[in-house]
Amino acid sequence: MGLLSLGTPLDWQEAKKHAEFIRKNGIEQFLHVYNQIKDKNRDNLLWGDEIEYLVVELDPEAKKARLLNENYKIIERLQQDEIDYLENAEKGIKSSPPLALWRPEYGDFMIEGTPGEPYGSNLKDLLTVEKSMQYRRNRANSELKKNQAALSITAYPKMGQGDWISPHYEAGGKYAQSLFIPDEVINPHPRFKTLSANIRERRQAKVEINVPIFRDTNTPWPFIDPTIPWDRQKYPGDSEAKNGAAKENHVYMDAMAFGMGCCCLQVTFQASNVNEARRLNDQLAPVGAIMMALSAASPCYRGFVTDIDCRWNVISAAVDDRTPYERGVSDIRQGNERRITKSRYATIDSYLGSNDGFFQPEYNDVDLEYDHEIYKHLREAGGVDEHLARHIAHLFIRDPLVIFEEKLELDNTATTDHFENLQSTNWQNMRFKLPPGPGSKIGWRVEFRPIEAQFTDFENAAFAIFVVLLTRAILSFDLDFYLKVTKMDENMQRAHRRDAVNQCKFWFRKNVFPRRPVIGGGGGDLTKDSEPTKNNDNILTNGKPVDMNDEIEQHNDQEMTLDEIINGQQEQQSSSLSSSSHFPGLAPIVESYLDSSNIDIITRCQLQKYIDLIRKRATGESKTNALWIREFIASHPDYKHDSFIPDSTNYDLLSTINDISAKNTFPF
Ligand code: ADP
Ligand code: MG
Ligand code: MG
Ligand code: MG
Ligand code: MG
């Protein structure tokens, strides 16, 4: 998302009148771009990460940590380099590009930073990733006071509980009407408040988030939360909590900020053409839950230790704008409403398919809700193929939530604003990004979105680099990770479980080399497709060619531990070739890719440090941030083992995370 445009956003009663118009024109904008650039080819690998930060203020006297609001002022200062650069460019003056780009996020206590320019395609460029992340952290901190810090923490443990925000505001306000969150913490850009209000109004209730509480030795049971202002009577939705929205034995939350106030690490890759983008979109989707479980970092919500380790479902519920009929809690159907299974923040419901020959229609095993008219139009008038048309028609079952009055009538050949309105509010685990337009240098991109933000830049770099290397291995070795959508969803749920790394198995494809693997030099360049060689002497298959006839689609998946998925399975003795194909592990695949490229030894060793972190996460040797947070709280003297996080515990936790982040060494 670029610098946000300003305008007058329409409230829901007005906005909904224009929904059809936006959808119709959004599709025309999509088709205009698609048909002009669908054959765009030979774009280089460019890629970049996005890291979100919470700004925390430490108050050593009161032994309290609070989130610092009013970051829009800080972001304005951070953006100055970019603004100067753009102004110079307009005047024809050459200047060096900014080293980082800064964007506002949902919470005014948040900051988002990306590298100033995307990283290039040389393997050596990977060594600049962590440096860029460190630069960003230091740059953000340079605008902050000594007792304040930008921390890449996925979920703030005490959000909406007690004295948690600075300056202090009363909970409530007309947009979110929350029992816990003041509207003042929503970013002042008009987009964000309107988004919150319009989700609530479309849904016809406040959002409802219930996270199971972690039952510690002294947790009162059944747990009925004494910190909820059950009897407040200020806003129409105030009675929802006691009328069933707040569930027993759960931590209840009622506002978008609890979800969109979470931070994450996202990685966007440019593909060489549309087909490669579709392929990467599909192949990375099943890897999402795996990476989320390994990066698990968010066990605490609204002041309590909970029973989940990841943010995903919290965000999903926090922006669930489905009407009662759509979400299946009412049978009274209004207008042309349809049932919709998932929130607009959710995993993908269908694969895009590509020409890699691996995609099977059976993988799309959920009944996809899609707009049939839009689908027909995309197919017949637009010449879009079945699977892409269905994906777009699925995104377009949603209503546009924020419409700017000044931006209704647009030239569909000059902008994709209406398309992006829906695309950017379908928050899926993978995002297939349309190039901005025919004139743009930017090509087809794919965004990988499930990774949780890590305390340190070393960890964040490791996850980003591992995923980008995996994309190269997928393309070079022609890998097949397809898994049925329902299994991918099941994995995503398992990834949330407390200590999933050590406790859970995940579905993954048994044979990821359905064809003879192609091993060859990438020449130190991440973009070059390797030349096929007949080299079977490699760790991936132990020298055994894979017989394609052994592919039995029905029995292609197995449940494995994360250790097995990342580090590989031990080979079992077996008489037949097919059953001897133990799973090689994603880390050995990535290492094999590196070893087959002309990489210099120093770069190779430095990259290994990142791969090793992922390997150790998978064995449990390196704790997830989530497990570390749990252990920190459990061993804190002021914590009473009742699941409630005291201010002093939170303060010590945040101070320690601040030290860890500043030193860039995760000590475990
Ligand atoms: P959004 O919030 O919509 O996902 P951002 O602009 O915040 O998008 O982040 C996009 C990421 O993609 C950044 O890391 C950026 O460096 C990177 N990026 C920018 N241009 C390209 C490109 N042509 N190809 C791949 N990645 C790119
Ligand atoms: Mg962004
Ligand atoms: Mg964004
Ligand atoms: Mg963001
Ligand atoms: Mg993004």
125 assigned to some structural domain: yes
Q: What is the residue with the minimal CA distance to atom 11 of ligand 1?
A: 48
The pLDDT of residue 526 = 72
Q: What local confidence, expressed as pLDDT, does residue 1 receive?
A: 45
Would you state the pLDDT for residue 70? Answer: 87
The total number of residues shown for the chain amounts to: 668
Which stretches does DSSP call E strand in 86-244?
Answer: 100-103, 110-115, 148-151, 165-166, 209-212
**Ligand 4: centre distance to CA 52 (Å):** 6
Residue nearest to atom 5 of ligand 1 (CA): 1
Given the DSSP bridges, would you call strands 345-346 and 427-428 parallel, antiparallel or unpaired? parallel
Asked whether the whole model's pTM tops 0.80, one would answer yes
Q: How many angstroms separate the most distant Cα atoms in the chain? A: 74
- Is the pLDDT confidence value at 87 over 80? yes
**pLDDT above 60: residue 77:** yes
User: How far is the C-alpha of 105 from the C-alpha of 102, rounded, in Å?
Assistant: 10
Among 71-80, 466-475, 494-503, 538-547, whose mean pLDDT is lowest? Answer: 538-547
548 Cα to the center of ligand 2, angstroms: 41
Over residues 604-619, mean pLDDT: 98
Report the nearest-CA residue for atom 1 of ligand 1: 1
User: Using the 8-state DSSP alphabet, how is residue 300 labeled?
Assistant: E
Which of 50, 79, 125, 526 most suits a substitution to test ligand 1, by most atoms within 8 Å of the C-beta? 50
Q: How confident is the model at residue 577 (pLDDT cuts 50, 70, 90)?
A: very low
523 pLDDT band, cuts 50/70/90, is low
| Strand runs labelled E in 141-261 | 148-151, 165-166, 209-212, 250-253
Q: Kindly report the protein residue whose alpha carbon is nearest to atom 17 of ligand 1.
A: 48
Burial class, 228, CB count within 10 angstroms (exposed 0-12 / middle 13-18 / buried 19+): middle
- Encode pLDDT of 103-139 as tens digits: 999 999 999 999 999 999 999 999 999 999 999 999 9
Residue 416 within a domain: yes
CB 582 within 8 A of CB 569: yes
Ligand 1 atom nearest 1 alpha carbon: 3
Q: Return left, alpha or beta for 593; rule: phi > 0 is left, psi -120 to 50 is alpha, else beta.
A: alpha
DSSP character for 530? Answer: P
Residue 378 binned pLDDT confidence (cut-offs 50, 70, 90): very high
Per-residue pLDDT, averaged over 415-435, amounts to 97
Specify the DSSP class assigned to residue 657: H
Task: Indicate the SS3 state at residue 577.
Answer: coil
Please report the atom of ligand 1 found closest to the CA of residue 424: 3
- pLDDT at residue 418 greater than cutoff 60: yes
Measured by CA distance, the residue closest to atom 14 of ligand 1 is 48
Cα 47 to middle of ligand 1, angstroms: 7
Phi, psi (rounded to 5 degrees) for 89:
-60, -40
Distance CA 164, CA 410 (A): 43
**563: its two tokens:** 């250790």
Write out the DSSP string of 463-488: HHHHHHHHHHHHHHHT------HHHH
522 or 34: which leads in pLDDT = 34
User: Quick one: pLDDT at residue 643?
Assistant: 98
Secondary structure of 246-297 as H, E, C letters: CCCCEEEECCCHHHHCCCEEEEEEECCCHHHHHHHHHHHHHHHHHHHHHCCC
Ligand 1 atom nearest to CA at 442: 23
Q: Helical H runs in 381-434?
A: 386-395, 417-423
- How far apart are the CA of 259 and the centre of ligand 3, in A? 13
Ion ligand 3 residue ranges (Cβ < 5 Å): 1
Sequence-separated (6 or more) residues with CB below 8 Å from residue 149: 55, 56, 58, 141, 658, 661, 662
- CA-CA-CA-CA torsion for 77, 81, 87, 92, nearest 10 degrees? 170
Answer whether residue 531 shows pLDDT above 90.
Answer: no
User: How many A from CA of 623 to the centre of ligand 4?
Assistant: 25
Number of domains in the chain: 1
Residues by chain with Cβ below 5 Å of ion ligand 5:
50, 266
Distance 66 CA to ligand 3 centre (A): 24
Measure 146 CA to ligand 2 centroid, in angstroms.
27
Hey, is 306 helix, strand or coil? Answer: strand
Ligand 1 nearest atom to the CA of residue 447, by list position: 4
Atom 15 of ligand 1, residue of closest alpha carbon: 48
The pair of structure tokens assigned to 11 is 């409230």
533 pLDDT above the threshold of 60: no
CA of 113 to the centre of ligand 1 (A): 11
* Residue range 277-308, pLDDT digits in tens: 999 999 999 999 999 999 999 999 999 999 99
Ligand 1 atom nearest residue 443's Cα:
23
CA dist 503 and 562 (Å) reads: 9
Q: Are 188 and 6 in contact (CB under 8 A)?
A: no
Q: What's the confidence (pLDDT) of residue 474?
A: 97
Q: Which structural domain range is residue 618 located in?
A: 22-513+601-663
Q: Is 656 exposed, middle or buried (0-12, 13-18, 19+ CB in 10 A)?
A: middle
C-alpha–C-alpha distance, residues 353 and 364, integer Å: 10
- Residue 596's Cβ-side half-sphere holds a number of Cα atoms within 13 Å equal to 30
Q: Is 348 domain-assigned?
A: yes
- Taking the C-alpha atoms of residue 208 and residue 497, their distance in angstroms, rounded to an integer, is 20
Is 139 part of a structural domain of the chain? yes
Predicted pLDDT of residue 515: 62
274: in domain: yes
* 3-class DSSP assignment, residue 505: strand
Q: Is residue 606 part of a domain?
A: yes
Ligand nearest the Cα of residue 277 is: 1
Q: What is the pLDDT of residue 542?
A: 34
Q: Which ligand is nearest to the CA of 101?
A: 1
**How confident is the model over 493-511, as a mean pLDDT?**
96
Pocket test for ligand 1, best of 268, 276, 345, 419 (most atoms within 8 A of CB): 268
Q: Which ligand is nearest to the CA of 99?
A: 1
State the pLDDT at residue 439: 80
Which residue, judged by its Cα, is nearest atom 3 of ligand 1? 1
* 322 vs 249: CA distance, rounded Å: 25
pLDDT of residue 556: 83
Decide: helix, strand or coil at residue 494. helix
Q: Which two tokens stand for residue 626?
A: 């989530």
pLDDT of residue 580: 46
List the residue whose alpha carbon is closest to atom 7 of ligand 1.
Answer: 1
| Nearest CA, atom 13, ligand 1 | 48
Nearest to 593 by CA among 528, 543, 638, 548: 528
Which atom of ligand 1 is least distant from the CA of 50?
A: 14
Contact 493, 504 (CB under 8 A): no
What phi, psi does 53 have (nearest 5°)? -125, 150
Domain for residue 596, yes or no?
no
Instruction: Among the bound ligands, name the one nearest to the CA of residue 266.
Output: 5
Q: How far apart are the first and last CA of the chain?
A: 35
Q: Looking at ligand 1, which atom is closest to the CA of residue 118?
A: 16
CA distances from 183 to 57, 106, 176, 461 (A): 20, 11, 6, 34
Categorize the per-residue pLDDT at 547 as very low, low, confident or very high, splitting at 50, 70 and 90: very low
Confidence (pLDDT) at 164: 98
Q: Are 308 and 212 in contact (CB under 8 A)?
A: yes
CATH code assigned at 301: 3.30.590.50
pLDDT of amino acid 527: 59
| Residue-wise pLDDT tens digits, 452-478 | 999 999 999 999 999 999 999 999 999
Q: Name the band, by pLDDT with cuts 50, 70 and 90, for residue 628.
A: very high
User: Ligand 1: which residue has its CA nearest to atom 24?
Assistant: 270
Say how many Å lie between the CA of residue 447 and the centre of ligand 5.
7
| Cα 39 to averaged position of ligand 4 atoms, centre (Å) | 30
pLDDT at 576: 44
Q: What local confidence, expressed as pLDDT, does residue 549 receive?
A: 46
Cα–Cα distance measured from residue 365 to residue 45, given in angstroms and rounded to the nearest whole number: 32
Pocket of ligand 1 (CB under 6 A): 1, 46-50, 103, 114-115, 118, 266, 268-270, 442, 445, 447
pLDDT score, position 581: 67
Q: State in Å: Cα 1 to ligand 2 middle.
A: 5
In this predicted structure, the answer to whether residue 554 has a pLDDT above a threshold of 70 is: no
Question: How confident is residue 152, by pLDDT bands cut at 50, 70 and 90?
Answer: very high
Q: Residue 640 burial by CB count (10 A; 0-12/13-18/19+): exposed, middle or buried?
A: middle
What atom in ligand 1 is closest to the CA of residue 112? 7
Nearest to residue 270, comparing CAs of 88, 121, 129? 121
The residue type found at 380 is: E
Please report the atom of ligand 1 found closest to the CA of residue 103: 7
Report whether the peptide linkage leading into residue 226 is cis, meaning its omega lies within 30 degrees of zero.
no
390-403 as b/e, with b when 16 or more CB fall inside 10 Å?
Answer: bbbbbbbbbbbbbb
pLDDT at residue number 305:
98
Q: Cα(50) to centroid of ligand 3, in Å?
A: 8
Q: Residue 278: what pLDDT? A: 97
Q: Nearest CA to 286 among 55, 620, 51, 565?
A: 565
235: DSSP letter: S
Mean pLDDT of the chain: 92
Handedness of CA 445, 451, 456, 458 (dihedral sign): negative
> pLDDT category, 573, cuts 50, 70, 90?
low
Report yes or no on 507 lying in a domain: yes
Q: Which residue CA neighbors atom 8 of ligand 1 most closely?
A: 1
The mean pLDDT value for 348-369 works out to: 94
Taking the centre of ligand 3 as the mean of its atom positions, its distance from the CA of residue 112, in whole angstroms, is 8
Identity (one letter) of the amino acid at 222?
P
In ligand 1, the atom with minimum distance to the C-alpha of 48 is 14
Q: How large is the average pLDDT for residues 370-379?
A: 98
- Whole-number Å distance between alpha carbons of 648 and 650: 5
pLDDT grade for 43, boundaries at 50, 70 and 90: confident
Distance 635 CA to ligand 5 centre (A): 36
Q: Which of 580, 508, 587 is nearest to 547 (CA)?
A: 580
Instruction: Provide the 8-state DSSP code for 172.
Output: B
Task: Give ∠ CA 519-522-524 in degrees, rounded to 5.
Answer: 145
Confidence band (pLDDT; 50, 70, 90) for 81? very high
Q: How far, in Å, is the centroid of ligand 2 from the Cα of 379?
A: 31
